[in-house]
Amino acid sequence: MWSTNTNNILAGLLAASWLLFGSHIIGNLLIPPFEPTHEAKANSTAPKAPAAKKTAKKAEPAQPLPVLLASANVDKGKKVAKKCIACHSFDKGGKNKVGPNLFNILGAERAKAAGFNYSGAIKKMGGTWSFADMDKFLTKPKTFMPGTKMTYNGLKKAGDRAALILYLRSFADAPMALPK
């Protein structure tokens, strides 16, 4: 009969699944998950992982910006500046692009390029671009100036920033004296 057959099949499936489930439990009882005995642990002669080598190359000690600037190289700065020229011009009378023209920027008041639509963040900050500020800004613009329109992640390497700043400084009628 149709319905009896169906019932039999269902009952069979149920029994089979219980069997599978049950054998799993029994299996676990018969073969407990492996765990080394305490003795085995204590006697273990496996060598410990070697401690991190002390001779590993140390990170360059952070040098103060004036020191970095004193030894920075303008040509290197020009290369680093390739990251800026999509958005900035440096020459006197250069156009504002996505970002403002940066002629005479070091020592200048912030947000003073004629005809550029600055964010409220930079206008609110005010002040002038010292070497130290420029260095902080270029490390991570959004950290130095939360809310800035400058969507640039920043330059991690202090040496790259110093070279870039030295290059930027050269675009001025009278480049600002280097910090001591």
Neighbours of 131 (CB within 10 A): 21
Name which of 24 and 112 has its Cβ closer to ligand HEC.
Answer: 112
Question: Is 136 a residue that touches ligand HEC (CB under 6 A)?
Answer: no
Question: Is 169 a residue that touches ligand HEC (CB under 6 A)?
Answer: no
* Chain centre distance of CA 47: 36
Question: Is 118 a residue that touches ligand HEC (CB under 6 A)?
Answer: yes
142's CB contacts (< 8 A; 6+ apart) are 148, 154
Q: What is the C-alpha separation between 93 and 114, in angstroms, rounded? A: 10
Among 74, 111, 172, 176, binds ligand HEC (CB under 6 A): 111
Task: Give me the least distance between CB of 33 and ligand HEC, in Å please.
Answer: 56
Question: Is 77 a residue that touches ligand HEC (CB under 6 A)?
Answer: no
Task: Find the part of the chain contacting ligand HEC (CB under 6 A) among 34-42, 55-63, 144-152, 171-179.
Answer: 144-152
Size of the site for ligand HEC (CB under 6 A): 27
Name which of 42 and 109 has its Cβ closer to ligand HEC.
Answer: 109
The terminus-to-terminus CA distance of the chain in angstroms comes to 102
* Alpha-carbon separation of residue 104 from 2, 29, 89, 152, 168 (angstroms): 94, 80, 11, 21, 8
The answer to whether residues 104 and 94 touch, using CB atoms and an 8 Å cutoff, is no
Among 65, 68, 69, 122, binds ligand HEC (CB under 6 A): 122
Closest by CA position to 180, among listed 56, 70, 91: 70
Residues that bind ligand HEC in the complex, under the rule CB under 6 A: 83-84, 86-88, 98-100, 102, 105, 110-113, 118-119, 121-122, 138, 148-152, 155, 164, 168
